[in-house]
Amino acid sequence: MIIGSAIIHGVREIGTHKFRSLLSMIGIILGVAALVAMVGVVEGMMSGFRKTFEGTGGIEKLEIERAEPPMEQEAIAHRSPKRTMKDYYALQAAVPSARRVSAEKNVDWSRLQSDTKREWVRMRGTTPETFEIERFSTLPGGRLISDWDVEQRNRVIVLANRNARTLFGNAADALGKTVSTRGIVFTVIGVLEPDDTGSWSRSRVAFIPISTAIHYFAEPDDDTIQDLGLQAERMEDIPVLTDQIERTLLVTHRGIKDFAVETRTEELEEFQKLERSFVYSLGGVAAITLLVGGIGIANVMLASISERIREIGIRKAVGARGGDIFIQFVAEALVISVIGGLLGIIASVGLVELLRSVMPEDTGHVALSAKAMGWGFLFSMIVGFCSGVFPAIKAARLPVIDALRYE
């Protein structure tokens, strides 16, 4: 009952000092808005990264990189055929516990030409697994590159949604049409779904069969590939798989260890470290803002108490205990901070909208996080409580006689 009426009283008290209360709230408003917006920016960036990370195979992905052979093999290193499509087929055959093996030959930037338009794209020669690993799918009516395309060196191409629109006006219109680059004509068999990760490398890309890429775009005697990857079924399989891969590839590379199997745990750790440092630094900024807001409230509460010493005296004279006075002033501080917190949340919506409009798309979507709003609100309440405690203790301890006499 006392708490309820203290809250009502607090609301009323704020009503009588609207401007002063608003000023004292500003710190909280800014703190909460900053907190929600910062979390939004970080989460947007992180979810963009996470999608890209997942989209490129996730933590289960193993990559077979080119590596310098050990010293004792330097003299015979030239005997290795390096990484070729043979490795791809060998891994598929010899490492059955791998979920997917993928290979890629990068053609790099190419200017695609439709009947009327031109567009620069990053052209990738791939195997069918790439689409599953990187989670690409095609619009209805189209298809992705198949094993048969790879086998037959078909001149087919899958376009990114954005490029298809540039080249043909409408993404769906591209299907069955042709595009050419460096004198070679490709039939568009598929157009990717629009990309929502904000990743630039996923929105300006075109896929052709890896065999077609090697045949038409590599040097005549160069059959090497750039990327050779493999996805484990489970993370626990990775050590065993690594072993199997090494054995298999030592055979195809004629015993020369000019490759290295790399896992992505380090990449993930780096990313997590980055995420933590963002959260700490931005959280620190928001915390300082909230702290400043709390000091503002405490200051206003102290001023308000010295104005209301007589009121405190009267309340005590008619029976208020120290605890009742304490609750009254803490409730007032809480009401200020709760209103400030709510206004801060409203302000954060606008702030996030503003950030969305000024920040480049590629940095990821600035997300409005309900969780961050909840935390912001909770923090504002904690700050309000803490900033009310000291003035409230001061008020509660006023001796009744002195307070009543105060003019």
Partner 1 sequence: MALIELQEIRKHYRMGDETVKALDGVTLDIEAGSYAAVLGPSGSGKSTLMHLLGFMDFPTSGTMLFDGDDVSRLSPSKRAWYRANRLGFVFQTFNLLPRLSVLENVRLPLDYARQARNANDLAREALDRVGMSHRIEHRPGQLSGGERQRVAIARALVNQPKLILADEPTGNLDTKNVERVMELFDALVDEGQTLIIVTHDLEVAQHARSIILVRDGHLVGTEEGGHSE
With both helix axes pointing from N to C terminus, report the angle between 85-94 and 210-217 in degrees, rounded to the nearest 10. 160
CA-angle at 286, arms to 282 and 288, nearest 5°: 115
Task: Identify the residue among 105, 122, 316, 365 touching partner 1 (CB under 8 A).
Answer: 316
Per CB under 8 A, does 14 bind partner 1?
no
CA-derived radius of gyration, the chain:
32
Do 64 and 249 touch, CB atoms closer than 8 A? Answer: yes
Report the residue number, 219 or 407, with the smaller CB distance to partner 1: 407
Using CB under 8 A, which of 237, 292, 322, 355 touches partner 1? 322
398 binds partner 1 (CB under 8 A): no
Distances 243 to 61, 158, 238, 247 between C-alpha atoms, Å: 15, 35, 9, 6
User: Around Cβ 247, how many Cβ atoms within 10 Å?
Assistant: 11
Q: Which stretch binds partner 1 (CB under 8 A): 202-210, 298-306, 317-325, 386-394?
A: 317-325
Binding test (CB under 8 A) with partner 1, winner from 70, 141, 255, 323: 323
Instruction: Decide whether 79 or 321 has the Cβ nearer to partner 1.
Output: 321
331 binds partner 1 (CB under 8 A): no
Give the one residue of 78, 79, 321, 371 binding partner 1; rule: CB under 8 A.
321
Cβ-based neighbour number of residue 277 at 10 Å: 10
Q: Which one of 5, 97, 152, 277 is in contact with partner 1 (CB under 8 A)?
A: 5
Question: Could you say which of 218, 382, 400, 406 contacts partner 1 (CB under 8 A)?
Answer: 400
Whose CA is closest to 224, among 213, 239, 238, 236?
Answer: 213
Q: Is 319 in the site for partner 1 (CB under 8 A)?
A: yes
CA distance 11 to 5: 10
Q: Applying CB under 8 A, does 71 fall inside the site for partner 1? A: no
Q: Nearer Cβ to partner 1, position 126 or 304?
A: 304
| 314, 349, 359, 389: which one binds partner 1 (CB under 8 A) | 314
* CA-closest candidate to residue 130, choices 163, 160, 103, 97: 103
Under rule CB under 8 A, residue 235 binds partner 1? no
Integer angstrom CA distances of residue 273 from 36, 112, 278, 338: 21, 40, 9, 33
CB of 352 to partner 1, least distance (A): 39
* CB 336 to partner 1: min, Å: 17
- What is the contact surface with partner 1 in residues (CB under 8 A)? 1-2, 5, 12-13, 16, 310-311, 313-324, 400-401, 404
